[in-house]
Structure 1
Amino acid sequence: MPTPNPAALEFLLNRRSRPAKTLTTPVPQKDELMQILTAAARTPDHGKLEPWRFIVIDHAAMARLSELAKTRGAELALDPEQIAKGCAQFDQGNLAVAVIEVQRDAPKIPPLEQTYSAGAVCLALLNAALASGWGANWLSGWVSHDRGFMEQGFGLGAHERIAGLIHIGTPKSTPPERPRPDIEAITTWL
């Protein structure tokens, strides 16, 4: 007979990301953030490869990354709205964690499974921050997919890429509930 954890299930049934633009200070201190990262690292990981790592982005680094987004956006000839959106991820942030997917050479573990694990770490990190009482939001966007931005902003190697940018802070407001999937409509029983 399973042993239920009603508090954990209640949290998962009602969890809600907080928009990054609504997060402010204070942000987690290093010891608090390390606990959140430790919880995130308990993610399923086929082969124990740890195909991910973390880069903590503090407020000072946000300004540098915003400038890089502006420069890279111009180099890529993106429209001003796209550039502004890329910059805003960092202009409005105080603390974020970049989850970096690290593709490992593992003949028995396909690259796609490593990608899945990195995505699972993003969600685990988001949920750990929320469970700790912080507001959190998982962002990506063009900056997360641009090789030049990844290399210049984060020093990533050719075998690495950004899986997500998890912003963490104190929420200024509670967003309204959003529509949720119709579970009956998306579930098939075999």
Structure 2
Amino acid sequence: MNDTTSLLSYLATRRSGKPRQLVAPGPSPAQLDAILTIAARTPDHGKLAPWRFVVIDTENRPEFAQMLDKAYRRERPDAGRLEHEAVAAFAHQAPCLIVILSAPDTTSHIPLWEQQLSCGAATMNLLHAAHAHGFAGSWITGWAAYNDEVASALGARGDDRIAGFVFIGTLPDSPEERLRPALGDVMRHWSPEA
């Protein structure tokens, strides 16, 4: 099998894993550096790097969980025990957790939308790089991605926003393929008569 065939096979079979199913091993520090270096090789009009990677190291997960719980309690003071347990579980999923911040340069002439697209492309590159290193990843959002207190605690400034939480680890079993859209439902050929 040549490199092109391997790449095409990879692209046709890459799957996300559910964060709660991702187990050790996760990437080593050197692998994580390589994954993030590849993630940063993304389309970036104006060379602005309008994204930031915030790694939540394992030893900091308890404090991360506490920060999330405090923010959740302020946002939803009537939340019950099960909700708080879910917040704690979220913080401790998978061996590796990276928060992606969309960090646009609002003084630039590059449109905000293009900078946000670059952030999304960097996140997808991160998932591809994790998979290429033999891991599974999952990009999710949820309430915490839209909470200003959480964003601030993670270093967001000004117009920065949380683009998502990327969990990386190993899947104990092969994931089931999920339903994909039929090409005809998401693609059409343009013509001037249309």
Q: Does TM, scored on the shorter chain, surpass 0.5?
A: yes
Counterpart for residue 66 of structure 2: 67
Q: Tell me the number of residue pairs that the alignment of Structure 1 and Structure 2 aligns.
A: 186
CA 22–48 in structure 1, closer or farther in 2 if over 3 Å, else same: same
Residue 5 of structure 1 aligns to a residue in which SS?
Answer: helix
Measured against aligned partners, the alpha-carbon deviations of 1:139-189 in whole angstroms (never above 9, x if no partner) come to 11111110111112x132123221111111122222211111111122110
Counterparts of 1:128 and 1:147, CA distance in 2: 29
Structure 2 length as normaliser, TM-score? Answer: 0.88
Measured against aligned partners, the alpha-carbon deviations of 1:90-141 in whole angstroms (never above 9, x if no partner) come to 1223211111111113442011111111111111101110111011111111
| 1:86 Cα offset (Å) | 3.6
Counterpart for residue 181 of structure 1: 181
| 1:62 Cα offset (Å) | 1.9
- Look up the equivalent residue of 1:160 and give its one-letter code: D
Matches for 1:16-95 after TM superposition, within 5 Å: 16-77=15-76, 79-80=79-80, 83-95=84-96
Are 2:24 and 2:94, in contact at CA under 8 Å, matched by a contact in 1?
Answer: no
Cα RMSD for the two superposed structures: 1.8
Measured against aligned partners, the alpha-carbon deviations of 1:41-76 in whole angstroms (never above 9, x if no partner) come to 111011111001211111122221222222111111
- Look up the equivalent residue of 2:130 and give its one-letter code: A
Residue 24 of structure 1 aligns to a residue in which SS?
Answer: coil
Are 1:62 and 1:94, in contact at CA under 8 Å, matched by a contact in 2?
Answer: no
- Look up the equivalent residue of 2:173 and give its one-letter code: S
Indicate whether 1:148 and 2:149 are aligned: yes
Runs of 4+ displaced beyond 4 Å: 81-84
Counterparts of 1:88 and 1:95, CA distance in 2: 14
Are 2:61 and 2:91, in contact at CA under 8 Å, matched by a contact in 1?
Answer: yes
| 1:84 Cα offset (Å) | 4.2
Gap runs ≥5 in structure 2: none
Gap runs ≥5 in structure 1: none
Residue 134 of structure 2 aligns to a residue in which SS?
Answer: coil
Deviates more, 1:76-85 or 1:66-75: 76-85
Counterparts of 1:29 and 1:107, CA distance in 2: 36
Indicate whether 1:128 and 2:129 are aligned: yes
Residue 184 of structure 1 aligns to a residue in which SS?
Answer: helix
